[in-house]
Structure 1
Amino acid sequence: MLLRILDRFEEILISVLMAVAVVLIFVAVVHRFSIGFAADLVGWARANDMPGLQSFARSAFKAINSIKLTWAQEACIYLFVWMAKFGAAYGVRIGIHVGVDILAERLQGTAQKVVTTIAMSGGILFTFIVAWIGADFVAHVYRGGQTSPDLEIKMWIVYLAVPLGSALMCFRFIQALWIYLRTGEVAHHDLGAVDGIEEEAETAAEGKA
């Protein structure tokens, strides 16, 4: 039950972070081009002696320019940092990380099990170390009181993605190793498959039958 909640939370968090970042980038781009368009319209109206349009364009320029989105780029960077860290843990869970498994695939029986176990244990050790060092770094930043230049939020909150994401990734490696030792299966994602397509095809086939 708890694992299902964690899985769902992980998926929702990544989706929300990605959606917010995309929307924010879209709004920032539209805002930037709107300012340029309004400025060009002011010049064009002045050159063609259209005072009414010039006044409207100047008012639009001032209104758009009054909306400050200088913080948008910084916010998107932080959103993508969090998304990348938790996305890495999600990748371990469903088996989409790039791995050199040519040796393990050529081995069989006990030898294959030993090599695979060593590889997964290496992932556990590495992510544990990153989580440990990241937690220590966050503690130092917290004591230093550093804030971001544009958003002016505490930087320890931003850097918290490193220990949290690495800890979750470490847990996913432990989970994957436990499943492998019990069942002999390693999570592997078919890059040629599209989620939902196979289920929809089966449902359609059942409906026709």
Structure 2
Amino acid sequence: MGLRLIHRLEENILAILLVFMTFLVFAEVVMRFVFNAGIAWAQEVTLYTAAWFVLFGASYGVKVGAHIGVDVVVKLLPAPLRRWVTLTALAICLVYCALFLLGAYDYISLMYDIGIEMEDVALPKWVALMILPIGFMLLVVRFLELAWKVWRGETEGFHLADEGEESMQLAQELKAEQASAISQTVAADATKDAQEPKS
């Protein structure tokens, strides 16, 4: 129940960020080109909103398997070896996240100590940058969830988006539709010929 609530909250935050960013850019374009004015803070807020959206979306992409990856060689490996390769890759991902978390902590601490505000909005810059530790902590949680599933044998890999496989599936569906349309045309022509009186 708790995890489902967290997942739903994450999806809602992503939707709100995307709608807000789209609306803000649309409003800025209308103000600039229709009324020959602008929203002074729109560009900076859009930039930070995009950063929040991307870093929230990175962990969500791990959850739903939306990231693109090159795993041709890994798929050729036997299942036990594939499992260890996946666990090694997850360990590397966790180290990468840990390095970013350390860097984010140092950077945000510096921004907090200096007391710099955003350029166009009266908000401390460290508040806007809090997405760095939040986003990478969410990634750590997703990678740990995936590692646990791989360790228990519930899954074998990252479940990356496979554009090649999707393209082949679309091509096969299109070919099947074309074959069906041709057979229907041939059947209709045969029926028409059979119904026409012979002279």
Partner of 2:141: 171
Q: How does 1:124-143 map to 2 (within 5 A)?
A: 124-143=94-113
* DSSP-derived class of the 2:34 partner: helix
Q: Is the 8 A contact 1:94 1:187 kept in 2?
A: no
| TM-score where L is the length of structure 1 | 0.73
Computed over aligned residues only, the root mean square deviation of the Cα atoms, in angstroms, reads: 1.8
Distance 1:130 1:187, change over 3 A: same
Partner of 2:57: 87
Q: Is the 8 A contact 2:25 2:46 kept in 1?
A: yes
Shift of 1:190: 6.3
| 1:109 equivalent in alignment to 2:73 | no
Match of 2:130 among 160, 169, 187: 160
| 1:186 equivalent in alignment to 2:157 | yes
Q: Is the 8 A contact 1:14 1:83 kept in 2?
A: yes
Distance in 1 between residues matched to 2:85 and 2:156, nearest whole Å: 14
Partner of 1:74: 44
Partner of 1:27: 27
| TM-score where L is the length of structure 2 | 0.76
Distance in 2 between residues matched to 1:155 and 1:121, nearest whole Å: 32
Shift of 1:132: 2.3
Distance in 2 between residues matched to 1:17 and 1:148, nearest whole Å: 19
Q: Is the 8 A contact 1:135 1:160 kept in 2?
A: no
Q: How many residues are aligned here?
A: 163
* CA shift digits 1:140-183 (9 cap, x unpaired): 11111010111121100111111110110111011111112211
Distance in 1 between residues matched to 2:116 and 2:129, nearest whole Å: 11
Can you give the 5+ residue segments of structure 1 that lack an aligned partner in the other structure? 37-64, 194-209
Partner of 1:3: 3
